[in-house]
């Protein structure tokens, strides 16, 4: 903006000076010519300075999120499965997967869909020392159903939605007291979020539960006790 203003002023002054030199207006005196020369030198310096400042800034690399190589390779394989599923459904028209297969092979994670047959259900087995849990497990006839636990072992509640202005993020921990007051019979509060999202000030008070290597859940788990 400053560069454009200076160039417009330079153009306007040049037109006025041209009229004086051609006799259209009163010719300039020697002192005015010397002053004009000095002003032109000063304007050239400012124009050069503004031109340099108006150049686009060089790109800066910014780290948006961190992830592990293990999770990255799993994500690549899942994306490959998603692409092929979209193709089978007719949403994608691509049929040649050679480029994608080459990239996966280069990452030492070739695309493969492995169907693993689940082991048979043991007719009789000891699953828990809690008789209520043992009774629930004995009634299951598959390994995909997740039964509802008995009320006697429900000792936690979960926060599923939390929004806070960044300016007040440091005070978000004040909500914990009132959250536990809503569930006086529960001792733990659970929170999950994607592992690519930065921790807020609220989660600084929580304990991060270590992730198991066989766990396929895409979020990380945080837990805090009412004390």
Does residue 16 lie in a domain region? yes
Does residue 13 lie in a domain region? yes
Residue 48 and residue 55 in contact, taking contact as beta carbons nearer than 8 Å = no
Does residue 46 lie in a domain region? yes
Count of domains forming the chain: 4
- Whether 136 and 164 map to the same domain: the answer is no
- Whether 206 and 160 map to the same domain: the answer is yes
Per residue in 56-109, pLDDT tens?
878 888 777 777 788 888 888 888 888 888 888 888 888 788 888 888 888 887
Residue 152 scores a pLDDT above 70 = yes
Between 116 and 194, residue with greater pLDDT: 194
- Whether 181 and 214 map to the same domain: the answer is yes
Q: Give the confidence band of 128 by pLDDT, cuts at 50, 70, 90.
A: confident
Q: Give the confidence band of 182 by pLDDT, cuts at 50, 70, 90.
A: very high
Does residue 60 lie in a domain region? no
Decide: residue 59, CB within 10 A, 0-12 exposed, 13-18 middle, 19+ buried. exposed
- Whether 41 and 74 map to the same domain: the answer is no
Does residue 62 lie in a domain region? no
- Give the pLDDT score at 212: 78
- Whether 12 and 34 map to the same domain: the answer is yes
Per residue in 10-40, pLDDT tens?
777 777 767 766 766 777 777 777 787 788 8
What gap in Å lies between CA 220 and CA 213, rounded to an integer?
A: 13
Task: Determine the average pLDDT of the residues in 188-211.
Answer: 87
Residue 192 and residue 220 in contact, taking contact as beta carbons nearer than 8 Å = yes
What gap in Å lies between CA 74 and CA 107, rounded to an integer?
A: 11
- Give the pLDDT score at 121: 59
Does residue 141 lie in a domain region? yes
Does residue 112 lie in a domain region? no
Q: Give the confidence band of 116 by pLDDT, cuts at 50, 70, 90.
A: low
- Residue 36 Ramachandran class (φ > 0 left, ψ -120 to 50 alpha, else beta): alpha
- Whether 171 and 217 map to the same domain: the answer is yes
Does residue 194 lie in a domain region? yes
Task: Determine the average pLDDT of the residues in 135-140.
Answer: 80
- Whether 159 and 144 map to the same domain: the answer is no
Alpha helices in the chain (DSSP H): 2-21, 30-54, 69-88, 98-106, 131-138, 175-182
Domain boundaries, position 219: 155-225
- Whether 25 and 50 map to the same domain: the answer is yes
């Amino acid at each position: 903006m400053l560069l454009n203003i200076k160039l417009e002023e330079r153009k306007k002054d040049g037109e006025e000076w041209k009229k004086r030199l051609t006799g259209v207006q009163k010719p300039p005196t020697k002192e005015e010519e010397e002053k004009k020369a000095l002003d032109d030198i000063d304007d050239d310096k400012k124009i050069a300075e503004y031109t340099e400042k108006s150049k686009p800034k060089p790109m800066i690399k910014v780290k948006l999120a961190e992830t592990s190589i293990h999770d990255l390779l799993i994500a690549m394989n899942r994306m490959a499965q998603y692409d092929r599923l979209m193709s089978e459904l007719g949403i994608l028209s691509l049929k040649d997967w050679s480029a994608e297969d080459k990239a996966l092979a280069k990452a030492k994670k070739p695309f493969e869909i492995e169907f693993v047959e689940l082991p048979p259900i043991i007719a009789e087995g000891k699953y828990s020392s809690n008789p209520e849990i043992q009774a629930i497990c004995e009634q299951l006839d598959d390994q995909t159903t997740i039964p509802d636990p008995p009320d006697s072992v429900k000792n936690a509640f979960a926060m599923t939605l939390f929004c806070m202005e960044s300016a007040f993020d440091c005070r978000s921990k004040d909500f914990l007291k009132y959250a536990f007051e809503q569930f006086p019979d529960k001792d733990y509060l659970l929170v999950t979020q994607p592992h690519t999202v930065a921790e807020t000030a609220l989660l600084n008070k929580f304990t991060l539960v270590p992730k198991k290597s066989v766990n396929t859940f895409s979020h990380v788990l945080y837990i805090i006790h009412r004390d």
